[in-house]
């Protein structure tokens, strides 16, 4: 079963029509907006979380999925490679065959799914609100001191 959660976004109607045209209504479920508890449940039950986004400012959904133990496939574009590191399979979001291969690879390979689950848990732990606040504070301190080069100094560990 494919569960699609979220509001009616880009290409939503076209996607629903395609599901009807292919007579996949019993296999594809459009859930609409879900509560936080429902989202956590969906992530936790997922065999695969696919997030082939064309552009992300940061990439919270893959991190949420990893924190809940879902093996993640995401785009190799935008901020996503930096967010997921080696804890997810990365694909070209324009390449349907590559995405299909990654999904099938995860569905068929339990060892790979478990490896990504474990890596995902560890990766998600690196992103906390406290760490984000510390990094922002460090940037503000550097600005106050007159610095403007933040290449590596903005990442206090």
Q: What is the pLDDT of residues 52-99, one digit of tens each?
A: 999 998 999 999 999 999 999 999 999 999 999 999 999 999 999 999
Q: Please state, for a pLDDT cut of 90, what percent of the chain lies above it.
A: 79
Higher-confidence residue of 8 and 72: namely 72
Question: Tokens 């785009």 belong to which residue?
Answer: 75
What pLDDT is attached to residue 135? Answer: 86
The pairs formed by 58-63 with CB atoms below 8 angstroms and a separation of 24 or more are 58/83, 59/83, 59/84, 62/88, 63/123, 63/124, 63/127
5-14, 82-91, 108-117, 146-155: which range is least confident on average? 146-155
Kindly state the average pLDDT of the residues 115-141. 92
- Please, what is the end-to-end C-alpha distance for the chain in angstroms? 41
Predicted confidence band of residue 139 (pLDDT cuts 50, 70, 90): confident
What pLDDT is attached to residue 148? Answer: 78
Kindly state the average pLDDT of the residues 135-150. 86
β-strand pairing of 2-5 with 89-91: unpaired
* CB distance 43 to 65 below 8 Å: yes
Predicted confidence band of residue 155 (pLDDT cuts 50, 70, 90): very low
pTM: 0.83
CA separation for the pair 29, 106 (Å, rounded): 21
Question: What's the Cα-to-Cα distance from 58 to each of 61, 65, 134, 136, rounded to whole Å?
Answer: 9, 14, 17, 15
What pLDDT is attached to residue 154? Answer: 41
Predicted confidence band of residue 9 (pLDDT cuts 50, 70, 90): confident
42 burial via Cβ count (<10 Å: 0-12, 13-18, 19+)? middle
């Amino acid at each position: 079963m494919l569960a699609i959660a979220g509001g009616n976004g880009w290409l939503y109607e076209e996607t629903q029509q395609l599901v009807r045209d292919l007579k996949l209504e019993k296999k594809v479920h459009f859930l609409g907006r879900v509560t936080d508890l429902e989202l956590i449940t969906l992530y936790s039950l997922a065999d695969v979380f696919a997030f082939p986004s064309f552009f992300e400012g940061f990439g919270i959904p893959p991190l949420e999925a990893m924190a809940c133990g879902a093996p993640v496939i995401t785009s190799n574009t935008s901020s996503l490679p930096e967010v997921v590191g080696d804890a997810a399979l990365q694909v070209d979001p324009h390449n349907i065959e590559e995405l299909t291969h990654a999904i099938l690879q995860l569905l068929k390979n339990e060892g790979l799914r478990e490896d990504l689950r474990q890596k995902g848990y560890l990766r998600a732990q690196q992103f906390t609100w406290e760490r984000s606040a510390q990094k922002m504070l460090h940037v503000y301190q550097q600005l106050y001191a007159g610095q403007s080069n933040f290449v590596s100094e903005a990442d206090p560990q």
